[in-house]
Amino acid sequence: MSPDISQTIQEIALLVVPVLMAVTFHEAAHGFVANWLGDPTARLAGRLTLNPIRHLDVLGTLAFLITRMIGWAKPVPVNPRYFRNPARGMMLVALAGPAMNFLLAILFALSVHGIEYLGVGVIQGTVAFRILEPLLYMCAAGVTVNLALGIFNLLPVPPLDGSNILAGFLPPRMALRYQEFGRWGFLLLILLAVVGVLGKIILPPVSFLYQLLV
């Protein structure tokens, strides 16, 4: 096996746990907030769970592992008619996902600092080093993955969470027409990723926040 392929496999292996956590907690947060606001749809669909199998979309997960920017899961079903204020309810549900990712990024960053503290004086090549080193990289990847997913989902492009947040500030008719753009949203995002624009939007804030946390 060539060094490049071996290194790629190792990088993907270290990303699996952070990506699964980021996607699963993100979607579960949507469902829990919707249920808290009175919408039982996600709960009845069995989506109030931290079991990643219930949330994962295979293509969306592979896309995130490859691009480190674009990824998606199975959308949590939400029925805004259960909310007292549908526009406000959808805003809160939408905010829950990215907020959870930013919380996970902070927790992973704290883990990085904790591992670095434990690793002071650990000799390279020892059993402790072989355990702490990949764990450190995994937690550092968890910071990056969650920051990237949180910022990506805040983009005001339907059907991302940012579009539901922005729609809450628009007049109902304008919000409806804006959300109808969702059928073309992912095509736009893929195009932006291919030409490199998406990276220029997401990577600077990810880098800034990473340096702030780690």
CB 69 within 8 A of CB 152: yes
Q: How far apart (Å, rounded) are the C-alpha atoms in residues 83 and 161?
A: 17
Residue 16's nearest CA partner among 125, 109, 134, 147 is 134
Give me 42's structure tokens. Answer: 């996600």
- For residue 56, what are the β-bridge partners? 73
Q: How far apart (Å, rounded) are the C-alpha atoms in residues 95 and 90?
A: 8
Three-state SS for 158?
coil
Options 11, 27, 133, 180, the catalytic residue: 27
Residues 6+ apart with CB under 8 A from 105: 142, 143, 146, 147, 150, 209, 213
Give me 71's structure tokens. Answer: 């990824």
Q: How far apart are the first and last CA of the chain?
A: 33
Q: How far apart (Å, rounded) are the C-alpha atoms in residues 91 and 124?
A: 49
Residue 116: active-site member: no
Q: How far apart (Å, rounded) are the C-alpha atoms in residues 9 and 148?
A: 21
User: Active-site positions?
Assistant: 27
